[in-house]
Amino acid sequence: MKNKNFAIAYNPNIERASSVRLKLEYILKNYGVEYEVLDIDGLKSGYDFVFVIGGDGTILKTARFYSKTETPVFGVNLGRLGFLSQSSETDIEKSVKKIMEGDFVVENRIMLSYENSIALNDFVIKGSATGRTSRFTLKINNKPVCDYLADGIIISTPTGSTAYGLSAGGPVLFPSLNAFVVVPICPHTLAARPLVIPDNEIISISSCSKQKTYVISADGQEYFQTSSDIVISKSKYTAKLALLDNADFYSILRDKLHWGISPAHIK
């Protein structure tokens, strides 16, 4: 890895990001590798490997950008959960050592596509009338599935199943599954339940009432308004997440979400 071209992407608005960036720069200099520092709002291509310093939002934005150049990204967590990150500030030196020794794997995470936008976690569709429920018609492969009266609908990847979809009552999917999840947000019926479907299905959302304007968010970072039917499908791009060889999804559930731990043992 020492002959590769590296970048450090970071969010200067996050507390401690600049100090961690300087620490990472010092470590990389000791390995004698070439690198460039990038602001999260000034990402550019041309690298073989990208370190990302920040929370999950920073990693999501970086992973979407570099999915189009198939560049692996490695997250150093400064946020609350850091579900997509592989290293903490205290472990950064050990993590860089593993990466320089090639002791890591790159996972291809499926993504969603809507028009010219892509999402690694999810697309969220809501009505434009703030604070009001909306009526949605869900079709899969152009076949009617159901109508929802709800605050919105989440279309999630396995990676995003531990994000908004989980908070809305959706299931946790193993990251490598080839599936998507459709989760209604606060539906006004007990019969509306999350739906897991194969990732080659075409999902369409349309209005079943007079209200025809929707707000769509991609990973909670990019927002669009539309009055047309919404068609979401699997993206041709995949996010490349660099994971250390000891990464284990189930241990992440325990460590990050306190999965299966008695409340008395959560500090």
Q: How high is the pLDDT of residue 79?
A: 64
Q: How far apart are CA 119 and CA 192, in angstroms?
A: 24
Residue 171 lies in a domain: yes
Residue with tokens 């531990």: 162
Residue 266 lies in a domain: no
Residues 49, 127: one domain? no
Residues 222, 202: one domain? yes
pLDDT confidence bin for 220, thresholds 50/70/90: very high
Q: How high is the pLDDT of residue 219?
A: 97
Residues in CB range of 151: below 8 A, 6 or more apart: 126, 133, 134, 185, 186
State pLDDT tens for residues 154-170.
Answer: 999 999 999 999 999 99
pTM for the whole thing? 0.90
The burial class, CB within 10 Å (0-12 / 13-18 / 19+), for 116 is exposed
Residue 187 lies in a domain: yes
User: pLDDT exceeding 70 applies to what percent of the chain?
Assistant: 91
Residues 89, 190: one domain? no
Residues 131, 191: one domain? yes
Asked if residue 206 has pLDDT above 70, the reply is: yes
Query: In the annotation, is 56 catalytic?
Result: yes
Q: How high is the pLDDT of residue 129?
A: 67
CB atoms within 10 A of CB 82: 20
User: Residues 176, 107: contact at Cβ < 8 Å?
Assistant: yes
Of the candidates 41, 48, 56, 219, the residue annotated as catalytic is 56
